[in-house]
Structure 1
Amino acid sequence: MSDNSTSRFQAGQTGLIVRIPDAETAVRTWRERFDPSARAGVPAHVTVLFPFLDVSRTDARVRSELSDVFGRHHAFDLRFEDCGRFPGVLFLRPGPDEPLRRLTEAVADRWPEARPYGGRFTEVVPHLTVADGQDDVVLDEIEADLSGELPLTSRVSSVDLMAYDGAAWYLQESFALRE
């Protein structure tokens, strides 16, 4: 059964993502049907850190510090060759994932109160969610469809700070990685 609710998000939440526009054609239809973040306006992405700080705390000083943190990291290429799963979740697996992990670690080290996924998981696994809250039959169908779209590659040259206003996610600011 599909979760059509965006109620898992709270007004004022923020997150840091890397957009993967090269995946949109392959995943858009599935994400719009089976990923609440897509229905709330989040593009195809790999999460760097969610939740980040409340939007009331993402002032000019924090954004300047984010710019500094991300400016220390080089842009990189990702390749998505296959799918992976968590219970009820289908995702595209990025490789290499080390640059994504380093971005997450850098932000979490600077803002230790912003633990990845609220500290719910001991290991952060970079991924691009395609479907969430679905049974294996649905995930099998999506994975079979996506197999013809892979591999795909994407250049990561920035990290976006997204904020949720209670109805939709919007871009608050984008931070360049070093070329």
Structure 2
Amino acid sequence: MIRSPGHSVLAVGVDQLDGYVRARTAHYDASFVSADPAFAHAHITLLAPWLTAPTPADVDVVTRVAAATPAFDTVLERIETFPDGLIHLRADPDRPLRTLTRTLAAAFPQCPPYGGRFGDVVPHVTLDRAVDGVTPATVAADLAPALPVRLRVDRIDLQWWENDNCHVRESWKLR
């Protein structure tokens, strides 16, 4: 098990897939399975890593962004694989998620999405990794009864990810 110093994530939960992603998380490292019922293992990352210790002013900024963002709908249906083997579901449409990520990244330029490692940040739900017999086809077969997922994006969660300490720190409703 790799010990994590912990990091925060601004995310959109995907409750419909949480059982699947929670099981896959447990398969790889059970220390990242949360006992917090509000914690969404299945999520679309908006901004991560975010601030380790946000100030009240930082929280106010996210509050204002959420209040200015209308809730919206998206569909998760298309299973794809990133070049590094990460199997994921893409959101369609993804423009509102991209806009929300850009808005948050502009408000917190010291926290570029994924630490600035990727040029084009694709809104997605991580499902698994292509290793040890896991393929996009096996994941698609496992998830066939659940797809497509119609997602109403109506909140942003501040998640904390750390071994044996994954939980939601705060949540904001979109308008």
| TM class, shorter-length | 0.7 to 0.9
- CA drift of 1:75 comes to 0.4
Change (3 A) 1:38 1:69: farther
Matches within 5 A, 1:40-51: 40-41=33-34, 42-51=40-49
Question: Are the equivalent residues in 2 in contact too, given 1:80–1:153 (CA < 8 A)?
Answer: yes
TM-score by length of 2: 0.85
The match for 1:97 among 89, 94, 98 is 94
Residues 1-179 of structure 1 mapped to structure 2, 5 A cutoff: 5-7=1-3, 9-11=4-6, 13-34=7-28, 39-41=32-34, 42-55=40-53, 58-86=54-82, 87-132=84-129, 134-135=130-131, 137-139=133-135, 140-178=137-175
RMSD of aligned residue pairs (Cα, Å)? 2.2
Q: Tell me if the contact between 1:38 and 1:44 (Cα under 8 Å) persists in the aligned partners.
A: no
Secondary structure, counterpart of 1:124 in structure 2? coil
Using the alignment, how far apart are the partners of 1:49 and 1:157 within structure 2? 16
Distance, in Å, in 2 between the alignment partners of 1:160 and 1:28 is: 17
SS in 1 for 2:99: helix
Q: Percent identity?
A: 32
Unmatched 5+ stretches in structure 1:
none
**Conservation of the 8 A alpha-carbon contact between 1:6 and 1:37:** no
- Amino acid across the alignment from 1:89: L
- CA distance in 2 between counterparts of 1:166 and 1:130 reads 19
CA distance in structure 1 between the partners assigned to 2:163 and 2:21 by the alignment:
25
The count of residues paired between Structure 1 and Structure 2 equals 168
Normalised by the size of structure 1, how large is the TM-score? 0.83
Q: Quick one: structure 1 residues 136 and 102, their matched pair in 2 at CA, closer, same or farther if it must change by over 3 Å?
A: farther
